[in-house]
């Protein structure tokens, strides 16, 4: 018969490891802007709470648009897969999918060069394609060229595309230093756009025109709202949460 002391000696390191994992999850909650109630759950029900946190908050982020756990595949492999699909079928969908992966990998110039080839043939004056390519021109700070494409795009029959175009025009005006126009453009979008991009744009205009306290108020509001919204919101608006934190630290 095995001694109880043997089980105790085996249990102690496992318990220590378990609490290290729990502490890591709590730190993850704090650093990534998850709602604070997760800290309470992790303290009160460590094992069940940790499992719930993984399933609700972490597992969905490991899934990609092409199936479960696609997000675990290294980006280099995903880029390679996109190149293969584009070689097999050179169409707008495959071209822009490759450009998206390249941009997310920090390869803005290469992403632009891939995307701009979409403006050919029947898609030369296609409004969605013009807006998509303008996005990649913004990525390389070619704001004047992006603005030219956006002004060319006729979005009168697509409300969502028109809203996206307006927001991107504001980004271009901001990048060109045309601050009064940018502020007006963001103001025309901020109450109609679902997300924090327009408010973040207004905050940047305030920063660049000497209104630092007004900018701080917006950044703090973005940070506060992030923790009280749904997981889907946090996933889509993470960029602005991170930017807000960086701007507040810099201030």
Q: What is the pTM of this model?
A: 0.74
Tokens standing for 47? 């094992």
CA 228 to chain centre: 18
CA–CA gap between residue 76 and residue 133 (Å, rounded) = 23
Q: What is the pLDDT of residues 85-144, one digit of tens each?
A: 999 999 999 999 999 999 999 999 999 999 999 999 889 999 999 999 999 999 999 999
Mean pLDDT over 6-35 rounds to 69
Name the pLDDT band for 65 (thresholds 50, 70, 90): very low
φ and ψ at residue 101, rounded to 5 degrees: -65, -40
CA–CA gap between residue 55 and residue 60 (Å, rounded) = 7
CA–CA gap between residue 239 and residue 44 (Å, rounded) = 31
Long-range own/partner contacts, residues 25-34 (CB < 8 A, 24 or more apart): 25/50, 25/53, 29/53, 32/238, 33/223, 33/226, 33/227, 33/234, 33/238, 33/241, 34/227, 34/234
pLDDT at 67: 43
Tokens standing for 60? 């969905």
- Other Cβ atoms less than 10 A from the Cβ of 110: the count is 17
CA angle 174, 175, 176 (to 5 degrees): 90
pLDDT at 54: 76
* 8 A C-beta contact, residue 189 and residue 200: no
pLDDT at 215: 97
From the list 139, 138, 137, 101, the residue with the least C-alpha distance to 119 is 137
Q: What is the pLDDT of residues 184-211, one digit of tens each?
A: 999 999 988 889 999 999 999 999 999 9
From the list 117, 111, 88, the residue with the least C-alpha distance to 99 is 111
pLDDT at 37: 76
CA–CA gap between residue 217 and residue 168 (Å, rounded) = 23
């Amino acid at each position: 018969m095995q001694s109880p002391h043997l089980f105790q000696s085996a249990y102690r390191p496992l318990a220590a490891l378990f609490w290290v994992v729990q502490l890591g999850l709590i730190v993850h909650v704090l650093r990534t802007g998850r709602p604070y109630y997760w800290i309470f759950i992790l303290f009160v029900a460590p094992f069940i709470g940790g499992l719930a946190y993984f399933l609700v908050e972490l597992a969905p982020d490991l899934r990609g648009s092409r199936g479960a756990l696609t997000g675990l595949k290294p980006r280099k492999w995903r880029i390679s897969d996109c190149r293969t699909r584009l070689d097999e079928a050179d169409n707008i969908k495959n071209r822009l999918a490759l450009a998206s992966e390249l941009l997310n990998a920090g390869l803005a110039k290469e992403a632009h060069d891939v995307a701009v080839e979409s403006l050919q043939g029947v898609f030369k004056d296609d409004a969605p394609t013009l807006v998509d390519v303008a996005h990649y021109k913004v990525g390389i700070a070619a704001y004047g060229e992006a603005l030219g494409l956006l002004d060319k795009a006729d979005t009168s029959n697509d409300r969502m595309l028109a809203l996206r175009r307006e927001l991107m025009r504001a980004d271009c005006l901001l990048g060109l230093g045309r601050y009064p126009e940018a502020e007006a453009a963001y103001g025309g979008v901020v109450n109609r756009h679902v997300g924090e991009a327009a408010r973040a744009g207004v905050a940047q205009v305030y920063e660049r025109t000497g209104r630092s306290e007004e900018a701080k108020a917006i950044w703090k509001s973005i940070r506060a709202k992030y923790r009280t919204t749904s997981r889907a919101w946090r996933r889509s608006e993470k960029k602005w949460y991170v930017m807000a934190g960086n701007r507040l630290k810099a201030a």
